[in-house]
Amino acid sequence: MRNLAYLKLMAREYPTIKAASSEIINLTAIQGLPKGTEYFFSDLHGEYEAFVHLLKSASGVIREKITETFSHIIPEKEEVELANLIYYPERIMNQLELKGLADGDWQRVTIYRLVQICKMVSSKYTRSKVRKKMPPEFSYIIDELIHVDYNDDNKRVYYNEIIRSIIDIGVGDKFIIALCELIQNLTIDSLHIIGDIFDRGPRADIIMNELLQFHDVDIQWGNHDISWMGAATGNLACICNVLRIAISYNSFDVLEDGYGINLRPLSMFAARVYREDPCDQFIPQILDENIYDAVDPGLAAKMHKAIAIIQFKVEGQIIKRHPEYEMSDRILIEAIDFERGVVTVEGKEYPMLDKFFPTVDPKEPLKLSKEEGELLHTLQLSFMHNELLHKHVRFLYSHGSMYKCYNSNLLYHGCIPMREDGSFEEIVVDHHAYSGKALMDYVDRKVQNAYFMPEGSAESEDARDFMWYLWCGAKSPVYGKGKMTTFEHYFIEDTSARKEPMNPYYRLSMKEEYCDKILEEFGLPKKGSHIINGHVPVKIKEGESPVKAGGKLFLIDGGLSKAYQSKTGIAGYTLIYNSNHLALAEHKPFDPNKESTPKVSVVENMKKRVMVADTDKGAELAERIADLKELVAAYRDGVIKEKVE
C-alpha cells in the first residue's frame, strides 16, 4: 500500500470516492486511445524558414490528411490552396482579402473543409484534450462543429446556422485562422529535437522562439547547442567560437538583430589591427544574405580572423589549465615557427597559408594583447547579461538533456564513445572512470553545473571549461571525433591534415549487435527498441540510407542546413512515429514560392496499433490509476475520511 501521507495528499485533489472513481474512469479511457504522433528532427542549424514550415505542415502529414479527406471531392489545386491556408492562415487570408476573394461563400466552404480536417486529426484524442488546445473564444463553437451528427437533419440545420452566424457577424476570418492553428496543434502531439539548433543558418533565435511556444518538446543537446550554452555562462572560448562560426557563415542577423550583441567593438578592433591584411583565408561563406545587418565581406573577413586568433589563444589557456583533457597537441598556435612561416602538426611541418599575426607574441603565443583582453571582456558582458539569450538557454536546460529514453526509443545527438573492440570508451575524472550511460549522466551533471553553480565557484569554473571540451574534445559524446581541425582548415593547404577521425562508434553502430549493446546499457529491450541519432549528415546522393543495423538505428541528419545540402542531396529528414508505423519524410530544399510535399516512406509497421496504454505515458497512467484505487480503498476502509459537503 502507498504511504498514508501520500494518499492524504491525493485526497486534497480527490476528496470523495466519486471524484477518485471518476478520474479512474477518465484515465482508463485515455489508455484505450491510440498514441499521439511523435516527430523527430535533428541538426536544424538555424534554418528557421525550413523548420517553421516543417512544423506548420507537420512534415507533409497535413497534406496527406487533406488528400485522404477530399481526394475524390475537390481538385488537387484546391487541395494545395487549402494546405497553404492551414500552414500560413494569416498571410493567405490577407492575400485573399486584398484580392477580394475571401467573401462569404468562400468562407463557408473553407470552414466546412477545415472542420472535416479537424475531425480527422482530433479523432485520437479525448474531447477534453482537444478543447484545451482550442482558442477560448471559439472553443464551444469548434467543439460543437467537430462533434455534430451529420446524419441528423436537425443537427445539420444547426451546423449550417452556426457557420452562417460566424460569417454574418464578421468573424469568419478569425474563425478560419483559429481552425488552421488548431489543426497544426493537433497533428504533432510531441516534438523531439535531437540536437544542433544553432550555428551555420541565419536565425536560430527564431527557431528557439517557436520551440518556446510548442506544447510538448524535448531537446537532446548537440555540440553546437553546448557551445552557445557555454557562451551564456561566460566561457571565453565558447564566446569566441559562436562568434567565429556566425561570422564565417555571414550570420550577423542572429547576433545583432536576434540577440542584440554589439559587434561594433570587434569590427573596430579588426578594421584597425588587420587594416592592411586582406584576410583571404577568412572570407565568409555566404549561404544567406543578412536582412538587417549587412556587413562588407572584407570587414567580415577581418572580424573573422580577429576572433579566430583570440579563440586559439583562450582555447590554449583552457588546455593548459586541464591536462586531463589530453589535448596539449592541439595548442597549434604554439607550434608555429613565426620566422619560417611553418607549423608542426603531429610531427610534420606544413607551410602556413597566412603568416600575418600582429597580436601574437612569438615568445608567449597564448597571451592576449591588452586590446584583445578588453574586447573579450566587453563581449563576455554582452553574452552574460543578454536577456533573450538566457531565456533561450534556460529553455534548453529545462527541456534538454544529453539523452532521452522514451517509448522504447533512445535519443541522443552525437555518439556513445566506443573503442575499436566495441567496449565503451572511458573518461577518468577525479579517479572515477565513466563510460556508456554513466558517462552521459556525468556529462549531464557537468552541463547543469556550468550554468547553475554559484558564480566564481571552483565547480562552476571547472564545468564552464568542460563545456568547451564537449564542443571539440576527443571523448566528447556530442562531438565524437578524434580532433577538431579548425586551425588546419584556416592555415594548412594539405587536406590530409584537416581530417577528423570518427569515433569507432560510427562504424560499430552500423551493426545490430552493437546497437543491442547500447540499448541494453540504457535499460531498453533489444526487441522493438531503436536508437535515433543526429550529428552526421546522411549522404543520400551517394547511396547512403538513414536506416541502419537492421532497422535498429535511425540517422536523421539529412541536411536541413544549407551548408550540407550539396553533400546529402536532400534537405533533411523527419522521423514520424504514430500509432501504426515509423515513417521517414525526406525533404527537398525549402523554397517559399513552391509547394513542396516530402517523400514519406514507411520504414517499420507496428505489429498491432500502439495505444496510449503501451507507451511510457500509459505506464504513468497505470501507476496513477493504481494510486487512485488505493485511495478509494482507504476511503471505504475509513482510513481516510471523505470530505462530503
Q: What is the pLDDT of residue 48?
A: 93
Q: Rounded to a whole number, what is the largest CA-CA distance in the chain?
A: 93
**Residue 426's pLDDT band (boundaries 50, 70, 90)?**
very high
**Residue 249's pLDDT band (boundaries 50, 70, 90)?**
very high
Separation in Å, CA 190 to CA 34, 41, 185, 576, 617: 14, 11, 10, 10, 12
Query: Per-residue b/e over 220-246, b at no fewer than 16 CB within 10 Å?
Result: bbbbbbbbbbbbbbbbbbbbbbbbbbb
What is the distance between the terminal CA atoms of the chain, rounded to a whole angstrom? Answer: 28
Residue 49, pLDDT > 80, answer yes
Residue 340, pLDDT > 90, answer yes
Cell 546522411 belongs to: 538
What is the C-alpha R_g of the chain? 28
166-175: list long-range contacts, CB under 8 Å, 24+ apart: 166/111, 166/141, 167/104, 167/107, 167/108, 167/111, 172/102, 172/104, 172/107, 172/111, 173/93, 173/97, 173/102, 173/107, 174/138, 175/111, 175/138, 175/141
Average pLDDT, the chain: 93
Q: What does the pLDDT average to over 449-476? A: 96
Q: What is the pLDDT of residue 562?
A: 76
Q: What does the pLDDT average to over 249-271? A: 96
Residue 156, pLDDT > 90, answer no
**Residue 158's pLDDT band (boundaries 50, 70, 90)?**
confident
**What is the three-class DSSP state of 275?**
coil
Helix (H), strand (E) at residue 553: strand 553-555
Closest C-alpha to 38, from 390, 554, 442, 535 = 554
Q: What is the pLDDT of residue 102?
A: 86
**What is the three-class DSSP state of 388?**
helix
585 or 197, which is more confident: 197
Residue 386, pLDDT > 70, answer yes
How many Cβ atoms from other residues are within 10 Å of residue 614's Cβ? Answer: 18
pLDDT in tens, 522-544: 999 999 999 999 888 787 767 78
Distance between CA atoms of residues 204 and 249, nearest Å = 13
Helix (H), strand (E) at residue 389: helix 387-399
44, amino acid identity: L
Q: What is the pLDDT of residue 78?
A: 92
**Residue 607's pLDDT band (boundaries 50, 70, 90)?**
very high
Query: Per-residue b/e over 391-418, b at no fewer than 16 CB within 10 Å?
Result: ebbebbbebbbbbbbbbbbbbbbbbbbb
Q: Are 335 and 312 in contact (CB under 8 A)?
A: no
Q: What is the pLDDT of residue 470?
A: 98
Q: How many C-alpha atoms does 256 have within 13 Å on its Cβ side?
A: 17
Residue 110, pLDDT > 80, answer yes
How many Cβ atoms from other residues are within 10 Å of residue 514's Cβ? Answer: 21
> What are the sequence ranges of the domains in the chain?
4-33+614-637, 58-190, 217-403+435-487
**Residue 40's pLDDT band (boundaries 50, 70, 90)?**
very high
Q: What does the pLDDT average to over 152-158? A: 78
**What is the three-class DSSP state of 219?**
strand
**What beta strand segments (E) does 385-480 contain?**
400-401, 403-406, 409-412, 427-429, 432-434
Phi/psi of residue 349, nearest 5 degrees: -85, 140
Q: What is the pLDDT of residue 553?
A: 96
How does DSSP classify residue 323? G
Residue 176 CA to its chain's centroid (Å): 30
Concatenate the DSSP letters of all residues of 338-381 into one string: TTTTEEEETTEEEE-S----TT-BTTBTTPPPHHHHHHHHHHHH
47, amino acid identity: E
Question: Helices marked H in 39-171 — which ranges?
Answer: 48-57, 61-70, 76-87, 89-98, 104-122, 127-133, 139-147, 153-168
pLDDT in tens, 72-87: 889 989 999 999 999 9
Q: What is the pLDDT of residue 289?
A: 63
**What beta strand segments (E) does 387-497 contain?**
400-401, 403-406, 409-412, 427-429, 432-434
Q: Are 15 and 168 in contact (CB under 8 A)?
A: no
Separation in Å, CA 189 to CA 11, 52, 94, 121, 400: 31, 16, 29, 10, 18
Question: Helices marked H in 473-590 — which ranges?
Answer: 486-491, 505-508, 512-521, 562-568
Q: What is the pLDDT of residue 292?
A: 59
Closest C-alpha to 477, from 243, 226, 192, 198 = 226
Residue 60, pLDDT > 70, answer yes
Helix (H), strand (E) at residue 398: helix 387-399
Q: What is the pLDDT of residue 429?
A: 82
Closest C-alpha to 267, from 237, 290, 247 = 247
Phi/psi of residue 30, nearest 5 degrees: -60, -40
Q: Are 39 and 191 in contact (CB under 8 A)?
A: yes
Distance between CA atoms of residues 422 and 595, nearest Å = 46
pTM, two decimals, is 0.93
| Across 289-303, 576-590, 624-638, least confident range | 289-303
How many Cβ atoms from other residues are within 10 Å of residue 554's Cβ? Answer: 28
pLDDT in tens, 562-573: 777 777 777 778
| Across 67-71, 406-410, 613-617, least confident range | 67-71
Q: What does the pLDDT average to over 452-475? A: 95
**What is the three-class DSSP state of 197?**
coil
Q: What does the pLDDT average to over 298-326? A: 97
Distance between CA atoms of residues 136 and 142, nearest Å = 10
pLDDT-above-90 percentage for the chain: 81
Closest C-alpha to 43, from 558, 569, 625 = 558
Residue 593, pLDDT > 80, answer no
Q: What does the pLDDT average to over 374-387? A: 97
